[in-house]
Amino acid sequence: MKRLLQALTATAGLTTGAMYGLRKVKENRPLDFSRARPEELVFPAGFRFGAATAAHQVEGGTVNNQWTAWESVTRSDGRPGIFTGENAGLAADHWNRFDQDLKLMQDLGIDTYRFSLEWSRIEPSEGVFDDEALDRYRSWCMKLRAAGIEPMVTLHHFTDPLWLTEKGGFENRASVDAFGRFVEHVVPRLADVVDWWVTVNEPSVYTLMGWVIGEFPPGKNDPKMAVRVMQNMLLAHARAYHLIHELDTVDADGDGIPCKAGIAKNLVPFEPRQWYNPLDALGTEILDRFYNLAPLEAIHTGRLKLSVPGQAHLDVVHPELKGTMDYIGLNHYFRQLVRVNPLNPKNALENGFDDVSMKSDMGWDLRPQSLYDALLMLKPYGVPIYITENGTADGDTPDARRRQFLLDCLYAAHQAIEDGINLRGYLYWSLLDNFEWAHGFSARFGLYRVDYATQERTLTAGGGLFQQIIAQQ
């Protein structure tokens, strides 16, 4: 155990005495959610309310990316790539039903819609572009603007074209150039109708789920490669950020600023499972640094420091990364508890949920205090914050857990603003029920319930609450 403690401490760059100063999250003001009242949630003027989706999860017909290929994989433990054995297929058929779904957005009253461009549709073969597909996305942006809804466009949301995957994907530094070429093609075509850009969605999730945990493609457990992938994803973000500012010089929304670009960063407030256990406290710091802080600090300062205990270490300066966030997009769903198991040195860090909180259909703790905690983690970066994803999976009818969690999360956001956090908007995940990556259609995240047999959409109770709160602003 002593050797394990020394290795973890060295990797984290800490002394044992410093471990007890790591309890930042626990010191935050605990919120009293019994005080959450829908009618009292009035946000500052100009606060954005919206919803979000991702192309592969809702569009249908995205057959040329690595996720579709993953649907036919059998994992080493015999399970299918998609745990439910399903394939995305038509998903919510958003590609063909956008006009119908736009009407649903108007009924909700949202003023912002975040969606992603499916790279494999627009560039189906390397260097060959399908401008009809890009023109359809352009038409969506025009229709959104006509309806008074701001388009927020995500350039990379987990999916890679098969031709890129065959060349090693983001394991290969050439992926940064490939992504740059894609950005150079799409931004000029959308510049006059789009001001808000998300470069890359959740690089930490993309990296850890694909190259450490193995739940996402390519299903590996290779921490050294994970460090390389994270580095390349962040460099792709930087390339996109600079290209957006070079190519988008048109102010589409009339606010005097032609474009705003940022990253959508998933944050997980980690806490020691046992606060008095120094190993758990140190393991918490290691996870927090790798997953939460390292990407943000790299974008803020240009210095990328990534460590996986005993397996990989990177400390490098990329000047092109520094200052590449006009805003931070916060994606947040839960906090996690960390335990260090000295009897399992190959996988000593164990993170999971508590035994008392109500759970979503994904098994995640429904603990809205963690949204407030995540927002406070972003205060030092000094840029506006937009919650670009927050929500829960609730397949019940009525969806009482979604309704309560949404109310409590909006209360947490409201309290954060009162405490000086520069929060400018809240986008719920998701507008529609969707194909939940490795979990298929088993999770219902939508404000609108989708009957996949008929493609009928039905407003949920949670959606009705969101509609009510938006209407009273």
| 263 vs 294: CA distance, rounded Å | 14
Clarify whether 202 is annotated catalytic: yes
* CA of residue 39 relative to chain centroid, distance: 29
- Tell me the CA end-to-end span of the chain in Å, nearest whole number: 56
| 118 vs 465: CA distance, rounded Å | 31
| 251 vs 194: CA distance, rounded Å | 8
Q: Are 65 and 118 a contacting pair, CB within 8 Å?
A: yes
Q: What's at 202, amino acid-wise?
A: E
| 327 vs 386: CA distance, rounded Å | 7
| 367 vs 140: CA distance, rounded Å | 35
Q: Are 26 and 377 a contacting pair, CB within 8 Å?
A: no
| 215 vs 211: CA distance, rounded Å | 9
Clarify whether 389 is annotated catalytic: yes
| 328 vs 449: CA distance, rounded Å | 29
Q: How far lies 237's CA from each of 126, 141, 157, 268, in Å?
A: 20, 22, 12, 21
Q: How far lies 418's CA from each of 278, 381, 391, in Å?
A: 34, 18, 22
Q: Are 462 and 447 a contacting pair, CB within 8 Å?
A: yes
Residue 154 region, left (φ>0) first, then alpha (ψ -120 to 50), else beta? Answer: beta
Choice among 59, 71, 123, 389 that is catalytic: 389
DSSP 3-state assignment of 112? strand
Choice among 118, 150, 202, 436 that is catalytic: 202
Point out the residues that are catalytic: 202, 389
